[in-house]
Chain A
Amino acid sequence: MKEKLLALLNEDARYTAAELATMLGVGEGEVRDAVAELEKSGVIRGYKTLIDWASVDDVHVTAIIELKIVPQADEGFEQIAERIAGFEHVESVYLMSGGYDLCVIVTGQTFQKVAMFVAKRLATMDGVTSTATHFVLRRYKDMGVAMCDSPDDRGRISL
């Protein structure tokens, strides 16, 4: 039931415990306990709202930055990744296979601010040997949700 519960919450975090219980065919108390346990153990890290910022304002900028790093003895990539993750504007940090080491997703109010953040904060860090910044121009799909409306084109009624 844990996997099914997580799949439902991943689909819509606002399902109530009663609704989740109905959909899973278990008791409401059981759902509450399971969610509490998943939160406590850190499997569930939080609940957020998926916002299409483009329809709110046009000064919300996201960039994906490829970083190449010299790994440090003992620590590998851990320490530098944690230091980067500490910045408020950094939304995500991933260790990557392939042509570069860390993928950093940064959000900011303007292209300029994001660019300056990369130049001043990231590029200058010890161990960072190169950066490549790619700005997001448009979101078509985010977190599994399409960012454009696709109206229900079925008839109202069919047998």
Chain B
Amino acid sequence: MIAQSFDYESPGTIAEAISLLQKYGDEAKILSGGHSLIPMMKLRFARPGYVIDINNIPGLSYIKEEDGYLKIGALTRESEIEHSGLLKSKYPIFGDVSKLIADPSVRNMGTIGGNLAHGDAANDHPAAMLALRAEIVATGEGDQQRVIPIDEFFQGFFATALKPDEILTEIRIPIPPEGSGGAYHKLERKVGDYATAGVAVQLMLDYGVCTYIGIGLTNVSALPLRASRSEEILLGKTLTDDLINESAQYASEDCSPSTDLRGSEEYKRAMVKELLIRMVHRAMDRAVAE
């Protein structure tokens, strides 16, 4: 398994990287963690003429709270997310997600930016980002930054709202108010597998009433999916078992999984339902514990 030959560039600034993207156009691929790209290249499913390695651009790896946002640099490794004290204490949903991505060695390379920019509905961060209503910061020519709401980011099969000469540089999440909690889980055939189905839930409780809700689904539709009807029915209500059930039922109806080695469409719909119920409960527990 050997990749086809390519030219390698390792820019030291974003501006340099952007100009290389402009120069090489379709023939270029950005290398971040590389654990989606490199296997594809080894199998010769991907044959870029130019690989632009952004790992030597400083200042793209951080986890911080600033200006009312949790900000995560695009080159932040999954392992850094998994072990971050800030995320562990205030955003446990990130730990849920990271721990289930591939394995520890892959997580030492894999980046959150790459996980999102790959535009793969089977990846795990997209669902959580939908639940958290994240914003994607894209940097283009002249260091121009553009903020893309997560709901507009995923556009098609392995396609995102990033322009050919833009690089995903940051993820921003509005800091959830007190009383918030989130959770993610996926069913997998074995550890490190892509999801059979995954559900991310972020919510806020105010004296038992749900004042914020975000629900994202993994690998049960062509794009990472927001379970809108499931959110609507919960918002502003006291979360009873019946209500949660109904919400879960909506999600199982609104997703569009396909039958494959991981199970039938029907199974996946049922799993979305079950996981949604479990994740709402786990998020509620965490919201109360906050």
Are A and B interaction partners? Answer: no
Binding site for A on B (CB under 8 A): none
Binding site for B on A (CB under 8 A): none
